[in-house]
Amino acid sequence: MNYIGIDLGTSSVKGLLMSSTLEVICTYSQDYPNNVDNRGWSDQNPEDWYNKSLIVLKELINKSTDQVAAISFSGQMHGMVTLDEQDNVIRPAILWNDQRTVAECDYLNNQLGTKFMIENTGNIALTGYTAPKVLWMKNNEPELFSKVSKVMLPKDYLAYKLSGVFATDYSDASGTLYLDVKNKRWSTPMLEVLGLDESNVPKLYNSFDKVGMLVTEIKQYLGIDYDIDIVIGGGDQAVGSVGTGTVQSGDVNISLGTSGVVFAATDDYKEDERGTLHSFCDATGKFHKMGVALNSGGSMNWWTSNVLHSKEFDTMEAEMNQLDPNEKLYFLPYLIGERSPINDSDIRGSFLGLSLHHSDAHLTRAIVEGVSFSIRQIYDGMMLSGDPQFKITGGGANNKLWVQIIADVLNKPINLINASEGPAFGAAILACASHTNTDVSNLATNAVQIVDTVYPSVNSSLYQDKYEKWLQIYPVLKDIEL
């Protein structure tokens, strides 16, 4: 038997075909547009996700020399998909990186209060979460809101179209801000605030639970006559942690993609009294703490594409290696505001300490350092006990200098692993775990091995001092009106 993992991302959907021995057979992806405007609004058409996913599924089914037993999902978190009573999409899905809900977050955090939010959900309101989006639609599109029959997350829309079952999982639901994370149930007080009830939200499952079967219509489209289980899957970070083997308490994964994510697996629910970090359920049936820096790889993409235009980051690595790490140059990676741990949608990025002798290589290295400091700030806020074991994944993990600087800034060894597919691989593992009734953590641990370790260098003590100075910059800049 083979298994398929579908990762529904912000710019594309990626499918992965995996064998019963946990080997990746092939992958295939399809892109779709993301509509972003200068107001910070970001949305997508859910039908694009579905249509492109069908193309991906057909390609993988055609490549499979054995029957596919199960399909599971990883999905971009927090997006709001609304359907009417006839299951028609009411409006474009509002995505995780949309910034239109500042007023709604202010209402939830300051009028209802952070104590109310944390007691009922385990988290405070952030512009990325689903609940502020629901409240925005209620406040600004009342006619459309009156038609809402179902509210769901992106990957759950795809699962609904494939199975006909209105379902979600605890990990993805944790990012809605209307799940009581500690008790793993919908928060009735929050649903009342939003003008919803439990008939409007999906039934809750573990990420490895089978929720239904592939519907006949899609089996016909794929040209198959056998049944395939639909396993609900989870949010991209929780499922990605399965795909990187970050499943035991004390495991920490740093993901350097467009955003920078610090993900720490925990056996028990750990409430963050300040609400600056995410306290979520994970894909193995336990919990995790997570912090997100909105622009990590995104800062580097902006720099190389919009400013340098032609110079690639990798081509400057040798030049950056020759620079003095004690350079008094700092970068704040807040190009579209910041989530963890400062929760400030208005702050913007900046360089501090520019001098005439600075070259593009100096500024590039400052960006690497600034992103690394933001990762350290998130980790420090987690206040984890013991001696965490770090892994690193994502595009930034392919650059030796960047990994070395993160090891120096954290003053911790960083492990490189043999798994590069992350969420899609994790989704396939969930499909296999469900179909074979096998423990997810055991499968993930067997599937992922450490291939190299980067240790802190002699620059580590220097970076401890530089990090302390970097922390002083934001409090000074945050009150300046631009």
Catalytic residue positions, numbered: 236
Phi, psi of 425 (to 5 degrees): -65, -45
- Whether the CB-CB separation of 432 and 438 falls below 8 Å is answered with yes
145: left (phi over 0), alpha (psi -120 to 50) or beta: alpha
- Whether the CB-CB separation of 34 and 383 falls below 8 Å is answered with no
Phi, psi of 96 (to 5 degrees): -60, -30
Interacting residues of 332 by C-beta distance below 8 A, sequence separation 6+? 347, 349, 350, 352, 370, 473, 474, 477
| Residue keyed to tokens 């800049």 | 477
Report the alpha-carbon distance of residue 153 to residue 172 in Å, rounded: 8
| Alpha-helix residue ranges (DSSP H) falling in 270-327 | 297-302, 317-321
Name the helix (H) or strand (E) containing 72. Answer: strand 68-75
- Whether the CB-CB separation of 282 and 426 falls below 8 Å is answered with no
| Residue keyed to tokens 């037993």 | 69
Q: 3-class SS at 61?
A: helix
| Residue keyed to tokens 């979460």 | 129
Provide the β-strand partners of residue 337. 335
Tokens of 440: 């997810």
Q: Which amino acid is at 385?
A: S
